[in-house]
Amino acid sequence: MPPQSERRRITSKDVALAAGVSRTTVSFVLNERADVAIPDSTRQRVWAAASKLGYAPSPEARALRLGRSDVVLCLLPDWPITGPVGVLLEALSAELALAGLTMLSHQRQAADELGQVLAALTPTAIVAMCDLAEVEVELAEQRGIQVVSFMGRVPKQVDVACFTQADVGRLQVRAVVADRGHSFIGYVSPYDRKLDWFSAPRLAGARQEARQLGARLIHYRLPARDNGSTGKWLETARAKGMTAVCAYNDDVAFSLLMAAFERGLSVPDDLSLIGVDDSAFTTLTRPTLSSIGFRLGPEAKRLTAVILGDGQDVQESSPSDIFDLKVRDSLAMRRPAG
């Protein structure tokens, strides 16, 4: 007994047979080539056959022949994507879909893992939101894959993002020092070292801006398990004259808020506080948390333009278009006499 017509993939050959034409004609019709003369009657016959059979061309065969696929690979760092970056990814995916491209993400785990991924698929472009080694970039370029860096450190590549993490730190410091007169401030980093990738440049930016504005900045890192040491630090620093703190993000800001509360320090009377991300809960805390939000929609558009190669038409945007300073209760002017 022969295998009872085991479900085979439907190819353009089947369509050709059903429509009574050659495979070539099917290809011409389905790709809507305007430069070949094929009467409407034939065109309709082919379309009808294709849709009746549920024909869809094999992506692999296409990619093989055309030398490129319709996939854009987004390489993500190995910490959870949340907040504004998550929104950006959604926007980017939608934007690319409009151009007929499919975005797929891969969360990178090891350092030199790109080879494994490229052994499974050849994307048309790679958006690197994490660091890449030089070997990896060469690997991609060797295969003719465009590498675009967005918020990642990639050798031989200019980052496409119109802002840096350092800008985030600078903006925080500006809001606190330039706009509200504080002159002795703190910067607090999260416990998780994985986040240093973001956190280190933010701190550096904050430091730079503080120096430029003539303010003093001290750095503190949250401990793994807080046994009151953060509160103690806040108290000591406050006693020495620190009147404002910039937090790596809203989560860290929240920890600080709680630590201050336990020590009887008042926010913002004793300490001003600002986070990053404009997380949903910032309006729920008492006092409400000031933060820096992001409008990343335009960035998704720019990124797509770069990938599509309309390199020239990309309109420049500036960090000020992106950042969205949310001033809430946790920010106050420095009081005239300490």
Partner DNA sequence: CAAAGCGACTAACACGGGTTACTAGATCGT
Partner DNA sequence: ACGATCTAGTAACCCGTGTTAGTCGCTTTG
The reply on whether position 13 binds a second copy by CB under 8 A is no
The reply on whether position 53 binds DNA by CB under 7 A is no
Angstrom distance (rounded) from CA 287 to CA 281? 11
Indicate which single residue of 89, 147, 185, 215 sits in contact with a second copy (rule: CB under 8 A): 89
| CA dist list (Å): 14 to 25, 65, 95 | 13, 20, 34
The reply on whether position 13 binds DNA by CB under 7 A is yes
Q: Which option in DNA, a second copy, none does residue 121 bind, with CB closer than 5 to 8 A by kind? A: a second copy
Indicate which single residue of 48, 61, 94, 111 sits in contact with DNA (rule: CB under 7 A): 61
- Cβ 283 to a second copy, closest distance in Å? 8
The reply on whether position 283 binds DNA by CB under 7 A is no
Which of 19/75 has CB closer to a second copy? Answer: 75
Indicate which single residue of 34, 56, 158, 224 sits in contact with a second copy (rule: CB under 8 A): 56
DSSP-derived 3-state class of residue 27 = helix
Which of 118/168 has CB closer to DNA? Answer: 118
Q: Which option in DNA, a second copy, none does residue 254 bind, with CB closer than 5 to 8 A by kind? A: a second copy
- Give residues 124-153 in contact with a second copy (rule: CB under 8 A): 142-144
The reply on whether position 9 binds a second copy by CB under 8 A is yes
- Give residues 233-262 in contact with a second copy (rule: CB under 8 A): 251, 254-255, 258, 261-262
For 179-201, give the DSSP string.
TT---EEEEEE-S-GGGHHHHHH
Indicate which single residue of 14, 70, 131, 270 sits in contact with a second copy (rule: CB under 8 A): 70
Angstrom distance (rounded) from CA 25 to CA 323? 53
Indicate which single residue of 90, 112, 179, 324 sits in contact with a second copy (rule: CB under 8 A): 90
Q: Which residues contact 105 (CB under 8 A, 6 or more apart)?
A: 73, 74, 75, 76, 89
Angstrom distance (rounded) from CA 240 to CA 116? 53
Q: Which two tokens stand for residue 13?
A: 């050959």
SS (H, E, C) 240-274: HCCCEEEECCHHHHHHHHHHHHHCCCCCCCCCEEE
Indicate which single residue of 36, 48, 94, 111 sits in contact with a second copy (rule: CB under 8 A): 94
Please check whether residue 256 is in contact with residue 164, taking contact to mean a CB–CB distance below 8 angstroms.
no
Indicate which single residue of 20, 115, 223, 309 sits in contact with a second copy (rule: CB under 8 A): 115
Residue in 259, 254, 233, 238 with CA at minimum distance from that of residue 328: 254
- DSSP E strands in the chain: the ranges are 71-76, 102-107, 125-128, 146-149, 184-189, 216-221, 244-247, 272-274, 291-294, 323-326
Indicate which single residue of 223, 281, 320, 333 sits in contact with a second copy (rule: CB under 8 A): 281
Binding characters for DNA, 63-102, by CB under 7 A (x = yes): -xxxx-----------------------------------
Q: Which two tokens stand for residue 235?
A: 């108290």
Q: Which two tokens stand for residue 244?
A: 């404002």
The reply on whether position 214 binds a second copy by CB under 8 A is no
- Cβ 120 to a second copy, closest distance in Å? 4
Binding site for DNA (CB under 7 A): 8-9, 11-13, 21-25, 27-28, 30-31, 33, 36-39, 42, 55-58, 61-62, 64-67
